[in-house]
């Protein structure tokens, strides 16, 4: 018998909460089962993630400082985010295979656009989707996302699988971050004054998710070059 210490199911009704001016949390935006069509079902999204990462496998990138990241990453879309000793950048081909990144599924684009619109950013058409995979213990240190061309465009993030504690700081690294628990199906839209906020993820706790198993996956939709 395993004791389930946290409720990792999506709520029955989606709800929205403003985390800060410009940042909106859409709880349960993606549901476990589709109630019509492909878009918005986490089971269908997981199948898409498996297809994408069979072409562009998850890998642990190295930071410019020489540290290997504990989060494993892949990408889909016209551009993908990569890190190496040479720096951070968006590239159109997977450096492992030399092939273009897999296409962003149309249903993902529709989901990201619908979330951005709900948060007050209509017309969001991302050209990049970074796929982060966390195993228990994986974390992301406080950082800013500033490698994108147009910082007036928001970033849309979707959490799947095990819950995580997201750290949401201010515009200075030294600002004390808020802790925001993120669960399977939660979407956060980050724009306006929060677009350059420092943020990170606490080490993932052990657990087993009904659909994803012992991991968390986070998708971030970005306008890298549009
Ligand atoms: C707040 N990923 O990939 S998503 C990243 O859960 C990243 O994997 C985290 O930070 C994850 O860069 C957090 C939420 C997120 C993404 C971008 C942001 C929050 C943000 C940009 C500005 C402010
Ligand atoms: Fe980030």
**pLDDT tens per residue across span 126-171:** 999 999 999 999 999 999 999 999 999 999 999 999 999 999 999 9
Domains and CATH numbers, the chain: 16-222 (2.60.120.590)
Q: pLDDT category, 1, cuts 50, 70, 90?
A: very low
Residues with CB under 6 A from ligand 1: 130, 132, 140, 145, 155, 157, 188, 190, 194-195, 197, 199, 201, 218, 220
Closest ligand 1 atom, residue 182 Cα:
6
Q: Of the ranges 9-13, 81-85, 93-97, 131-135, which one carries the lowest mean pLDDT score?
A: 9-13
Q: What is the pLDDT of residue 31?
A: 85
Lowest mean pLDDT among 2-16, 103-117, 123-137: 2-16
Residue 100: the pLDDT is: 99
What's the per-residue H, E or C state across the chain? CCCCCCCCCCCCCCEEEEEECCEEEEECCCECCCCCCCCCEHHHHHHHHHHHHHHCCCECCECCCCCECCCEEEEEECEEEEEECCEEEEECECCCCCCECCCCCHHHHHHHHHHHHHCCCCCCCCCEEEEEEECCCCCEEEECCCCCCCCCCCEEEEEEECCEEEEECCCCCCCCCEEEEECCCCEEEECHHHCCCCEEECCCCCCCECCCECCEEEEEEECCCC
What is the rounded CA–CA span in Å between residue 160 and residue 105? 17
Find the ligand nearest to 139 CA. Answer: 1
Closest-lying ligand 1 atom to the alpha carbon of residue 71: 8
Residue 36 has a pLDDT of: 46
| Mean pLDDT calculated for residue range 180-186 | 98
* Range of lowest pLDDT (8-22, 55-69, 83-97, 126-140): 8-22
Residue minimizing CA distance to atom 12 of ligand 1? 145
Q: What's the CA-to-centroid distance between 140 and ligand 2, angstroms? A: 8
Instruction: Work out the mean pLDDT of the chain and round it to a whole number.
Output: 93
Mean pLDDT confidence for 207-221: 98
How confident is the model over 27-52, as a mean pLDDT? 83
């Amino acid at each position: 018998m395993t004791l389930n210490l946290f409720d990792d199911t999506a709520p029955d009704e989606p709800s929205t909460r403003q985390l800060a001016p410009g940042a909106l949390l859409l709880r349960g935006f993606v549901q476990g089962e589709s109630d019509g069509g492909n878009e918005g079902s986490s089971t269908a999204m997981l199948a898409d993630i498996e297809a994408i990462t069979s072409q562009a496998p998850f890998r642990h990138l190295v930071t410019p400082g020489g540290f290997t990241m504990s989060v494993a990453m892949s990408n889909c879309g016209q551009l993908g985010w990569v890190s190496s000793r040479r720096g951070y950048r968006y590239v159109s081909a997977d450096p492992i295979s030399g092939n273009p990144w897999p296409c962003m599924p149309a249903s993902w684009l529709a989901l990201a656009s619908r979330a951005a619109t709900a948060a007050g950013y209509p017309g969001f058409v991302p050209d990049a989707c970074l796929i982060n995979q966390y195993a228990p213990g994986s974390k992301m240190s406080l950082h800013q996302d500033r490698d994108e061309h147009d910082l007036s465009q928001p970033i849309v993030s979707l959490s799947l699988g095990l819950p995580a504690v997201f750290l949401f700081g201010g515009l200075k690294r030294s600002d004390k971050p808020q802790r925001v628990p993120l669960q399977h199906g939660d979407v956060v839209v980050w724009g306006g004054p929060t677009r350059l906020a420092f943020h990170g993820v606490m080490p993932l706790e052990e657990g087993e998710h009904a659909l994803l198993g012992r991991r968390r996956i986070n998708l971030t939709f970005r306008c890298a070059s549009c």
